[in-house]
Structure 1
Amino acid sequence: MGAAASAARKHLFRPVKNYNVEERAMKVISKDKPIAAPPHPSMKKIMDEIMSDPSKLKTSRSDPRLLQNLSQVYITSAGVNPEATTEKNRLPFNRTPPEESMFGHEEPKSILPGKASLRQVLEFVANHANDRETYTAEKISKDYKLDIIDTINILQHYKTLQVFSARRDKPQKPPHLLRRLQDGIDNLKH
């Protein structure tokens, strides 16, 4: 009901709103200057003082004692700032981008005990998949300094990617029924 009432109200009041709109707009535009809003009573007194003496508007009050103190202030630096010359703030000399790595990110140079890099994990999962007797979970956990439970979970839940490609020689589909009929008609004509 609300939408219908709103639509009806819009259609009824639109002609009243738009009545003589061009003439009313021209009347407002043709005025020389719009009338300013009246000032607040507290500002009226200040404005009257400024109108009577415009020199009060300039507020260049300078204290000679403050200017003298300011002229005695100097900033000098001696020595080298250790914070400004640290290695982290210097730009690198070699600005070539790093080499693309196999896994999309740079491999760490040192790996903490109990941790393994992505390359190491893929390596020992592949070794375990190829030869389960030689590469047991206990041997892998000792070699890579990993927790035995984590190693067993990794070997149980992760496998290396195996790629299977489809055969190149696909069997031909039987021709469509209409095509077989057309071929049969062609053979009868010859």
Structure 2
Amino acid sequence: FSNMGARVVRMFRNFNLENRVHREISREKPLPAPRHAAAPRPPPLLCVSAAETVNQKNDPLLALLRTVYVQSTDPAAAAEVSPQKTRPYLNRRPLKFSLPVAPYGMVELTDVPKGKLTIAEALKALGGHQQQPQTWTPEKIAQDYSLDLKDTKDLLEFFIPFEVKIIPPKTENAKQINSS
């Protein structure tokens, strides 16, 4: 059936093909767009004369050039260098707490920027506040670690380490982790 369908389609496609081709060929073609007028090339003699005028000595311009005097200084020596850029350790504080062994072979830090904590310091401060909130107050933590008091309060309120919640199983047969 598909072979028969292909023949029918081909028959309709080729029907009156010659007449359609002759009609298309004899149809009047559209006019092409006019070409852009190109600028005529300069004669080669003008190029030589322009090169000569560039290479000629112009006495009035040379006299003006001789009157110009340029005095320059090194901007690095003249500029005031801020002490924070030359001594970045002024904005740093010594490390309060560090792990006994450098984890994963990382270089051990000796100081941190003010307003920042290392992971070990953060865990010690948060754990101390959780166990003894009267001793480890937000003000004491902020003062000890050179932190902003508002940031310290937010850290203690929203970041809670070591909190484990055990969800009881729905069935009594399921295994459960003992909390002892």
Aligning the two structures, in what range does the TM-score lie when normalised by the shorter sequence? 0.3 to 0.5
